[in-house]
Amino acid sequence: MEALEFGFMQRALLASTIIAAVAPLVGSFIVQRRQALIGEGMGHVAFAGVGLAFLTGLDPLLGALALTLLAAVALVRLSRGSAGGDVSLALVFYGGLAAGYLFSARGGGGQNQILSLLFGSPLNLTWGQVATVAALATAVALALAFLYRQLVALAFDEAAARASGVPTTGLVMALTVLVALVVVAGMSTIGLLLISAMMVIPVATAAHIATSYRATLWLSSAIGAVSAAAGTLVSYHANVPTGSAIVLTALALYIGAAVTHAAARYLARRRHVRPGRPVDLVPDD
Amino acid sequence: MSPSPATADSVVPLEFDHVSFGYNGQIVIRDVSLQVRQGTFVAMVGANGSGKSTLVRLALGLLRPSQGRVRLFDTDTAAFRQWWRVGYVPQRAAADSTLPISVDEVVRTGLAGQLHPGRRATRHHRQRIEHVLEVMGLTGLRRRRIDELSGGQQQRALIARALVTEPSLLILDEPTTGVDADARAVLRDSLEHLVAVENVAVVYVSHDPQTFAGLATCVVELRAGTLHILGPPAHVAGSA
């Protein structure tokens, strides 16, 4: 394949595939907890971190990492304190967006540079940046494997998990930090505003097919990786932005799975309901 | 108030000792004292808003009393660490899941508080999982998505989750809401077995006395946050 002969394409493919494979693993837990938009908000905060880095001369990745980790702690404390979950999300995220634009404007961040962070520019990655993405993604995957049982309990029923002795507040904090790490790892490849889509869309796609939580995790990870690889190649051949191509590929897979699932259910119902045959509205034990 | 005679050396699984609790200055629970001993079945009734769910949350350590003490196995809930000794069965609505989760996985989440992160389930844990699935009649359904099961089957999965750690105290909060008659019968048989054979202490919260008639050792009622002992379940069923 011609595209793979170029170093920039190899780096783009590798980095986007790695992060798009790990993002749904974290996403599975936030979707189950009905916090699908938390990644989007973290992207806003990371934007503030990047703006702060422009202002102070720091590495944008370090600025984004510092501020998102701070936001993760603040978010959990706020949501468990006087402010409700929705309000605390809004406070942290709108603050992040406003501060990000302010810092960037004052720090002299060029419009192209800001846009590339918001929507991704994997074709400009160095091997060092690819290694950073891989290291962050590996750390996230290992943390998820370590906390897997407790995270499933938390995501399925927080009250029961807490009653059975699971330290839920600490676990929610850990999960929010993992979301922050995925956002930071994905900012240069898929973009701060689009990486959260890869935490949600592949999970929603897998949920149409899988029959268990574990299968949903593995399948969503595979869907994320395939979307990233296909989207990156499409962006090369069609000359379109890579982050957008990756997310739209994932969306196309979701639509395909949803339509197939709906058709299968329709056919199954038709097979069971025949004229003149009584229908059990309430299934028996 | 003590639903069963005390013995000098017996550990009390659950004790409310002059407990009061309020939200935003409004008293919800008033000076409640109650002991639930091993092998007893305490049914708790009360109208909506009477404070039943608050009392359950106090028992589970999810709330701290404003006054008095809540003890689990003679330890204040604030200092209690052996949460695996307490099983909790919420209303069936807790089985609503955005993502697919199998019955087997739901039951395994019951071990999350007992097993440290990164630790694998031991052979004993795996045997226990098999046992509770079998007792609850879920062995053949273990690979099925929980949201594809009937209300009664979902409730049985939540009970199996609560039993997987072999608790000595089981707290059930409106467990039969939205559950069909067959599943209620299975639940009754299971609870009878747990109390009579395995000496488990059961706290059963329900607004419907019919669901525990013939099972309860003692029936208590919460009225505006105050606890009243009503007596044997037949009396309650008759007055309902």
Which ipTM value was assigned to this complex? 0.81
Interchain CB contact of A162 with B (< 8 Å): yes
Mutate one of B101, B119, B146 to test the A interface: name it (highest A CB count within 10 A): B101
- Helices A60-79 and A38-56: crossing angle in degrees, nearest 10, is 140
Alpha-carbon gap, residue A239 to A49, rounded angstroms: 30
Among A residues 180-209, those touching chain B with beta carbons less than 8 Å apart: 203, 207
**CB distance A166–B113 less than 8 Å?**
yes
Identify the bridge partners of residue B35 per DSSP, sorted by sequence position. Answer: B15
Q: Write out the E strands in B37-135.
A: 41-46, 67-72, 75-76, 86-89
**CB distance A150–B165 less than 8 Å?**
no
Using a CB-CB cut-off of 8 Å, the residues of chain B touching A268 are: none
Interchain CB contact of B62 with A (< 8 Å): yes
Interchain CB contact of A76 with B (< 8 Å): no
Alpha-carbon gap, residue B205 to B59, rounded angstroms: 12
Interchain CB contact of B114 with A (< 8 Å): yes
**CB distance A159–B144 less than 8 Å?**
no
Which residues have a Cβ under 8 Å from the Cβ of B113 and sit 6 or more positions away? A153, A161, A164, A165, A166, B83, B84, B165
> What pLDDT is stored for residue A88 in this prediction?
76
Nearest CA in chain B to A216: B100
The counts of H helices and E strands in chain B are 6, 10
Using a CB-CB cut-off of 8 Å, the residues of chain B touching A150 are: 112, 117
Low-confidence ranges of chain A (pLDDT < 70): 80-85, 109-110, 272-285
> What pLDDT is stored for residue B141 in this prediction?
93
Mutate one of B58, B64, B99, B190 to test the A interface: name it (highest A CB count within 10 A): B99
**CB distance B145–A212 less than 8 Å?**
yes
> What pLDDT is stored for residue B92 in this prediction?
64
**CB distance A159–B182 less than 8 Å?**
no
Using a CB-CB cut-off of 8 Å, the residues of chain A touching B165 are: 164
Print pLDDT tens along chain B (240 aa). Answer: 445 444 434 789 999 999 999 987 788 999 999 999 998 999 999 888 888 889 999 999 889 999 999 999 999 998 998 888 999 988 765 556 789 999 999 999 999 988 888 888 889 999 999 999 988 889 999 999 998 888 788 888 988 999 898 899 999 988 887 777 777 787 888 888 888 888 899 999 988 777 777 888 889 999 888 988 877 655 444 443
**CB distance A149–B115 less than 8 Å?**
yes
pTM for this predicted structure: 0.84
> What pLDDT is stored for residue B235 in this prediction?
47
Interchain CB contact of A153 with B (< 8 Å): yes
The counts of H helices and E strands in chain A are 11, 0
Using a CB-CB cut-off of 8 Å, the residues of chain B touching A174 are: none
CA angle B86, B88, B89 (to 5 degrees): 155
Using a CB-CB cut-off of 8 Å, the residues of chain A touching B99 are: 28, 31-32, 203, 207, 213, 216
Using a CB-CB cut-off of 8 Å, the residues of chain B touching A161 are: 109, 112-113
Alpha-carbon gap, residue A166 to A164, rounded angstroms: 6
